[in-house]
Amino acid sequence: MYISLILLLSLRYASAALQDERAQPLLDLSSLSVYSENTWDRISPPKDAIIVDGSANPGNFTTVQSGVNALSLNTTIPQVLFIYPGTYVEQVYIPLLRSNLTVQGWTTDARSYENNTATITFNLSKLSVSSNDLTATVRQWNTNTKFYNLNIANTFGHVDVNGQNLAISAHTGNQGYYGVQFWGYQDTILANTGNQLYAKSLIVGAIDFIFGQTATAWFENVDIRTIAPGYITASGRSTASNPSWYVISHSTVDGINDTIPAASSALGRPWSSFARVVFQDTFLGDVIAPAGWSVWSSGVDGNTQNVTFGEYANYGPGSEKEEGPRANFSRQLDAPISREVVLGDGYEDEWWVDMSYL
């Protein structure tokens, strides 16, 4: 598909470091060390990590799924899966473990996604499987999990019917994603259940590409990029008692490049009638339409009767300040939403929350 080619080329462009690293000789794995103190490089696995390197070195694994399969289902000791540079073409399923899990991609600077070198990519849509979750390149079903410095892509592209193609199915709570790139078209991130945190990451898509039903998800310092006309969020919050929030804070929203038409995307549309989404303190590029938000589909109210679509102190050419009145079912907030409202009191002490990224 044409759009699949665009995704592949864009991913390659955005991760130029990946090409440089793969051009080098295989890394010497003979002297493994713990993460260097007082630095942000992640170039050697910590002691006892499961290692994926694609090179068939003894004791290591050539695919991410084989590395996952080597994790213990029963230990309560925290586990680490360390992934060396490479492009891993596969679908990965991480089951429920009894332990905390860290998944770390090789990088010389873990503070952002720009130096990521490990990519997991697959090409699958709902045309071929029975659920959104089953399309995901990474199906992450373990609680208390942190991902660092990986590129996760679904390169299927788009069709009008059953075109859902997830990069990540974050199907459980207590998940944190730091310096991760997510690439897709429709439904890139399924943030579905429980507390979730996305920080200093890149999220790429076109249609409903942050979506789910009951998750309380916080997005901090993320770069959201559209690759075609569409809608950024699709909250499936269906009742007033549903705890779900999507809050995008101190982030940027724009087109992936200057070919993306102005006013071609909405901040969100309501998958269900109690949808709840807030963008705050965020730069909005000219890809955001003047109305800001959209109905779900044609009809009397388009699922908008009970929505909470809010904005606070956004700026840039796609903000209300620049473009004029927003949709009448959205509102400008008097104050920002706090992390405690979404993630709960004491969130900063949770294992899966890495405060160094906030």
Return the CATH number at 220.
2.160.20.10
pLDDT at 56: 72
Asked if 152 and 29 sit in the same domain, the reply is yes
Interatomic CA distance for residues 310 and 119, integer angstroms: 34
Mean pLDDT of 142-161: 97
pLDDT in tens, 49-86: 999 998 878 889 999 999 999 999 999 999 999 999 99
Q: How many CA atoms lie within 13 A of 18 on its CB side?
A: 24
pLDDT of res. 236:
97
Angle at the Cα of 296 from the Cα atoms of 311 and 226, rounded to 5 degrees: 60
**Whether residues 131 and 227 fall in one domain:** no
pTM for this predicted structure: 0.91
156 in the same domain as 23: yes
pLDDT above 90: residue 165 = yes
Residues 6+ apart with CB under 8 A from 119: 11, 15, 18, 86, 87, 88, 150, 151, 152, 153
What does each C-alpha distance from 51 to 43, 69, 82 come to in angstroms? Answer: 12, 12, 5
pLDDT digits (tens, 9 = 90+) for 174-219: 999 999 999 999 999 999 999 999 999 999 999 999 999 999 999 9
Q: How many residues does the chain have?
A: 358
- Predicted confidence (pLDDT) per residue in 92-141, tens digit: 999 999 999 999 999 999 999 999 999 999 999 999 999 999 999 999 99
Q: What is the pLDDT of residue 28?
A: 34
What is the SS3 assignment for 178? strand
Residue 114 lies in a domain: yes
* Euclidean distance between CA atoms 143 and 345, whole angstroms: 19
Decide if 235 is inside a domain: yes
Residue 176 lies in a domain: no
288 and 150 part of one domain? no
CB of 276 closer than 8 Å to CB of 240: no
Any domain includes 182: no
- Per-residue confidence (pLDDT) for residue 59, from 0 to 100: 85
| Calpha distance 236→213 (Å, rounded) | 4
Q: Which residue has the tokens 């790139």?
A: 181
* Rounded Cα–Cα distance for residues 318 and 226 (Å): 13
Among the options 53, 187, 208, 354, which is catalytic?
208
The question of whether 208 is a catalytic residue gets the answer yes
> What pLDDT score was predicted for residue 18?
34
Domain count, the chain: 2
Dump pLDDT digits (tens) for 28-57.
333 333 454 558 999 999 999 999 998 878
Do 143 and 285 share a structural domain? no
What phi-psi label fits residue 249: left (phi over 0), alpha (psi between -120 and 50 degrees) or beta? beta
Contact between 307 and 326 under an 8 Å Cβ cutoff? The reply is no
Q: Look at residues 66, 75, 118 and name the one whose alpha carbon lies nearest to residue 94.
A: 66
- Burial class for 3, CB neighbours closer than 10 Å (0-12, 13-18, 19+): middle
Instruction: Mark whether 338 and 199 lie in a shared domain.
Output: yes
pLDDT in tens, 281-324: 999 999 999 999 999 986 667 899 999 999 999 999 999 988 77
The domain of 356 spans: 194-358
Task: Report d(CA 185, CA 284) in Å as an integer.
Answer: 20
pLDDT at residue 30, rounded to an integer: 30
- Token pair of 136 as six digits: 């995901």
Q: Output the pLDDT for position 57.
A: 80
Residue finishing a domain among 150, 165, 180: 165
